[in-house]
Amino acid sequence: MLELRGITKTFRIGPTERTVLHDLDLDIASGELCSLMGGSGSGKTTFMNIVGLLDKPTQGSYRINGEDVLGAKADALSRLRGRLIGFVFQQFFLMPRLNAWRNVALPLMYRGVAEAEAKRKACAMLERVGLGAHTEHKPSMLSGGQKQRVAIARALVGDPAILLADEPTGALDPTVSREIMDLFIEMNRDLNVLVLIITHDPGVAARCRRRLELVKGRLATQEKLAA
């Protein structure tokens, strides 16, 4: 599904150049559950931004389902990202004035889906992540774990093929973190969505069937566990 070849990313700061990703080659199949670990400055966030079509590499090629996505223009890239990729972040990024179902429905509304249909799909997804009784609750009425469930529902409501999660358990206590990982595993299994979790937590990484590690911008480890 994802084919990355020779991915290199260099940033220029004044007269200085800094390369944060070095010649990465990686294939990730549809429906995989992967973790990506690495220390501070290892290039994890830059890598996720490239995989998520939020940034482009300085060199290299990137194909999704055989399609060269780096050659697409900005508007086409935005549509492709909206159709194929869902994002979950540590900070949740929920709209405080909107209730849970409206937060989840936002991606559908941006696509022009009628409000009634958007609400139906949003409420169904909230039910699926265990928040069927909280559809009218605003973020201020929810716990951290519940907010992350809303964020996961929002990422999945548009039926993406890829779910990218950047430190999704970083703001949660260990018990809630395990519950959120249970949910990622369940969604990966039931929806066959490719899940890539960027994490610093070895416990989170250990629950993924495939583990990747970046060290100073280079892919140091690729460990695939038996299903």
How confident is the prediction along the chain (227 residues), in pLDDT tens digits per residue?
999 999 999 999 888 999 999 999 999 999 999 999 998 889 999 999 999 999 999 999 999 999 999 988 888 899 899 999 999 999 999 999 999 999 999 999 999 999 999 999 999 999 999 999 999 999 999 999 999 999 999 999 999 999 999 999 998 999 999 999 999 999 999 999 999 999 989 999 999 999 999 999 999 877 766 44
Give me the pLDDT at residue 174, please. 93
- For residues 35 and 205, the answer to whether their CB atoms sit within 8 Å is yes
Q: 53-76 in b/e burial notation, b at 16+ Cβ within 10 A?
A: bbebbeebebebeeeebeebeeee
pLDDT at position 225 is: 63
Is 68:57 a contact under the CB 8 Å cutoff? no
Non-local CB neighbours of 184 within 8 Å, separated by 6+ positions: 33, 152, 163, 165, 168, 195, 197
Residue 13 pLDDT:
86
Residue 164 near residue 87 (C-beta atoms within 8 A): yes
**Which pLDDT score, from 0 to 100, does residue 71 have?**
87
- Predicted pLDDT of residue 151: 98
Nearest to 144 by CA among 178, 169, 107: 169
pTM: 0.93
- The sheet with strand 85-89 has its strands ordered as 85-89, 162-166, 194-198, 33-37, 210-215, 218-224
CATH architecture group of domain 32-56+74-224: 3-Layer(aba) Sandwich (3.40)
Q: For the chain, which residues make up each domain, given as ranges?
A: 32-56+74-224
